[in-house]
Amino acid sequence: MIAELGAAIVENGMTIGLGSGSTMAYFVEAVAKRINEEKLTVQFVPASKTIEQKALDYGLKLISIECVQEIDYAFDGADWIINKETLIKGGGGSLFREKKILLNSVQRFILADESKFIDRLSDSIIPIEIVPFGYTKTIHSIREVGGECYLRKRMDEEKYLTDNYNYIVDARFSGIGNWGFIHEQLKRIQGVVDTGIFCNMEFQIITLEKE
């Protein structure tokens, strides 16, 4: 499994950043198994409350991002991967926290299968985290940048809330090649916390090779 490949490179004494999503849930299981078998001392900084609880359930030692100077390795999944410097995340709603951990890590590992690799991001859904106050005005400004966007809802039709108690807007941009530029344009909008465009960072991609 990809999760086991990631767990295999964790070293004793490290501080490890944990992203969110189903891939990270498998990674937590795999790394906990290795820690228990090899009696390693490792501490973890989780991005989401869901993964935090998963890590606690498996007995992992957790530490707040406020209490570490830097994170040795960060592991995460991805919604879409363009290359080693550009990917899309945030389908699970934890994009701000995931990006914070990745930016404060020495090395960044993305665990993904081949279905996540695409040639370009045109017409892909880009999650955008926004503050609740004045959210309709923020959405209007996002549309002016060129995005067709909708406020994310839960199954019960209530507004989806992130772990930071913000909203998520899912936006679709067509015919765009420079996603770093779009990210910067969106970040200039008052009310936008961050976008699911992860760029200008170097990622190491861990995937299973075809047999």
Query: What is the CATH classification number for the domain harbouring 85?
Result: 3.40.50.1360
Residue 211 forms part of a structural domain: no
Supply the pLDDT for residue 92: 86
Q: Are residues 62 and 27 in the same domain?
A: yes
Residue 141: what pLDDT?
A: 96
**Whether 88 and 156 share a structural domain:** no
User: Which domain covers residue 44, as residue numbers?
Assistant: 2-116+200-206
Q: Looking at residue 122, what is its pLDDT?
A: 58
pLDDT of residue 210: 52
The residue annotated as part of the active site, out of 98, 114, 148, 158, is 98
- Whether 72 and 106 have beta carbons less than 8 Å apart is answered as yes
pTM value surpassing 0.75: yes
| pLDDT recorded at residue 121 | 58
Distances (CA, A) of 77 to 40, 136, 160, 193, 211: 24, 30, 21, 21, 22
135 with 111, same domain? no
Specify the pLDDT at position 123. 63
Q: Residue 107 domain-assigned?
A: yes
Counted domains in the chain: 2
Please tell me whether residues 21 and 105 are part of one structural domain.
yes
The verdict on 84 and 182 lying in the same domain is: no
90 and 176 within one domain: no
Active site residue 98: yes
How far apart CA 121 and CA 176 sit, in angstroms, is 8
> Which segments of the chain have a pLDDT < 50?
211
My answer on whether 15 and 47 are in the same domain is yes
